[in-house]
Amino acid sequence: MGSTDLLEVDEDVLGLVVKLLNYSSMDSFNEDVRKIKKWIKKQPHLPEVMADKKIENFLILNKGSVEKSKEKIENYYAVRSQLPEVFDKIHPKLSYMENVKASVFYVPLPKLTKEHYRVCFYKTRDIHLAENVEMINFVRLVVNIQEIRMIEDVTYGDMFVFDGKDVTLRFMLKATPMILYKMLTVIYKQVFSNRLKAVYIINAPPYTEKLIDILKSILIPKLMERIHICENSDILFEKIGKEVLPVDYGGEEKSLKELQEMLYQKFNDSEDYFTQLDTLRINDDLKPQKLKNDEMFGLSGNFKKLEID
């Protein structure tokens, strides 16, 4: 996929995660991958035979459940037609990405935590530019990072750090309930099934409570308990580790600016991959039966609260 090593994954991580998912052996896990791949080949409406690495990650995200993985793979392709406002202009080579890049840092940190979790880090880069960026473009960035992770990472669990310094109320209010619902419930849960382990909000401005109130309408209480508002960044050394954190925050990793450059180089290296993704759509005429979750992308009416274990 390219020469930029943004995501560091030791060779033994997959085997360790497979054990944590209660597989008896790697052979058993690989057999489930083969089952899913065989199933995909028999689905005339699906646009491709998914790569083994991506199938592995769907299995990990769905705790080793073959049936749930099949369902989420269906959703992975279906959402591209169901949410055109996100996916019709999502390619990272489009001009919107430069605006996002100039306004915020949002990057996955290269090293996994000791629990094999991936940490993503947010910090405002330019207040004035950030206030003028469409929030849907930030959603596109999040999805594109997830796409890279699906082919290069072991997606066992996610942690987020959100630096609230220089986040204005005007910017925060861009995170409307509908935007958060699309990103958290539809994309994050119904497609990728990411397992949210913790969110740390550091340097939180007073109006962070407004965002928390919005999240309460979307997240179940168990997930709300995983959101921690911190007075400073000291807790990150304990919960994440100095070796994982960027040097900007007293860690041993590269700076957010350097990591951002690595991320966007990764996007450039992966241009052909993202161009292929743009073409992937379900062929409804060949669909053998109605998808189980055909209605899940309906975004009107009451929100269903998000549960991610």
Residue 296 pLDDT > 70, yes or no?
no
Residue 3 pLDDT > 70, yes or no?
no
Model confidence over 226-263: pLDDT tens digits? 888 887 788 899 999 999 999 999 999 999 999 999 99
The pair of three-digit structure tokens given for residue 136, joined into one six-digit string? 């849907």
Which CATH number does 96-269 carry? 3.40.525.10
Tokens 């990591």: give the residue.
259
Tell me the torsion sign for CA atoms 298, 136, 178, 55: positive
Structure pTM?
A: 0.90
Quickly list DSSP for 171-213.
Answer: HHTTS-HHHHIIIIIIIIIIIT---EEEEEEES--TTHHHHHH
The pair of three-digit structure tokens given for residue 31, joined into one six-digit string? 């057999």
Question: How do beta strands 104-108 and 118-124 pair?
Answer: antiparallel
The domain limits of the chain are 13-87+279-286, 96-269
The rounded percent of the chain whose pLDDT value lies above 90 is 66
- Which helix (H) or strand (E) element contains residue 105? strand 104-108
Whether the CB-CB separation of 71 and 290 falls below 8 Å is answered with: no
**From CA 293, how far away is CA 211, in angstroms rounded?**
29
